[in-house]
């Protein structure tokens, strides 16, 4: 779809949805990925989201095929574009993160989902721009994309929260399972891993002033879990799964109770 037509449809869609947005259910935009959205369109959406104060989420640096597509115009994604008669992006040796930077996508309102195929320079770009990351280890493993450098991202000061990607990737959404795998892949202790599920996620979404921890002035969102296993509290929470959830509260209101 032409670069001028897609943003117009997006603006109309956001305008229509704004009627049902609330303080808890806010709008954002998500141009999918560099291999499915053109550079000019990415830039146009990013500029508009900035002007409107809308958060931006993008799946990026997930697979080696994506990196190959952007750096040298080769691989399965390039073949798919050619088969549909779509001009390939300029092949100038850019990494996916560099490519986003070229199109002025990176910012403190931008959430990069995956960030597996990143090098030290990419990590520094993310940190310098204030861009945040959603780390999805189960999805990365399921698709054999590799392991994201979680420890390096955190050490560089990049705000990171744990994510699940989608049921299409992992079958069942289980944030604590994501945390357990993240722990196997790094040296983070259980307390830090649990923080990535809670306050870390809130920081990655720029919502830490409202959610992510139980403090005066924040929304009273919490989950009551039946502890299992041995060790400290955080370690025992991480040993749990969806079947161990007893009650869930959103804004202090009970929305789930186990039978």
How many Cβ atoms sit within 10 Å of the Cβ of residue 213?
Answer: 12
Q: Are 81 and 54 in contact (CB under 8 A)?
A: no
DSSP string, 111-122: EEEE--S--HHH
Q: Is 62 an active-site residue?
A: yes
- Residue from 52, 62, 66, 68 carrying the catalytic annotation: 62
Alpha-carbon distance values, 105 to 13, 24, 47, 58 (Å): 21, 25, 8, 9
Contact predicate 177/140, CB 8 Å: no
Backbone angles phi, psi at 58, to 5 degrees: -145, 135
Where in the sequence numbering do the catalytic residues fall? 62
């Amino acid at each position: 779809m032409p670069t001028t037509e897609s943003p117009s449809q997006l603006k109309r869609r956001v305008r229509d949805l704004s009627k049902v947005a609330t303080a808890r259910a806010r709008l954002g935009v998500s141009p999918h990925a560099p291999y499915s959205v053109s550079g000019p369109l990415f830039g146009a959406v990013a500029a508009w989201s900035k002007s409107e104060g809308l958060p931006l989420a993008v799946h990026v640096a997930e697979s080696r095929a994506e990196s190959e597509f952007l750096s040298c115009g080769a691989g399965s994604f390039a073949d798919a574009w050619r088969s549909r008669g779509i001009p390939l992006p300029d092949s100038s040796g850019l990494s996916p993160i560099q490519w986003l930077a070229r199109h002025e996508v990176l910012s403190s309102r931008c959430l990069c989902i995956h960030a597996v195929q990143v090098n030290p320079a990419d990590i520094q770009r993310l940190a310098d721009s204030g861009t945040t990351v959603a780390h999805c280890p189960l999805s990365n493993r399921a698709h054999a994309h590799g392991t994201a450098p979680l420890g390096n991202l955190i050490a560089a000061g990049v705000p990171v929260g744990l994510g699940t990607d989608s049921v299409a990737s992992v079958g069942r959404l289980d944030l604590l399972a994501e945390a357990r795998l993240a722990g196997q892949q790094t040296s983070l202790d259980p307390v830090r891993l649990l923080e990535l599920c809670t306050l870390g996620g809130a920081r990655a979404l720029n919502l830490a002033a409202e959610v992510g921890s139980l403090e005066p002035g924040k929304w009273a969102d919490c989950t009551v879990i039946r502890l299992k296993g041995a060790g400290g509290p955080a370690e025992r929470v991480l040993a749990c799964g969806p079947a161990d959830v007893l009650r869930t509260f959103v804004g202090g209101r009970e929305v789930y109770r186990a039978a």
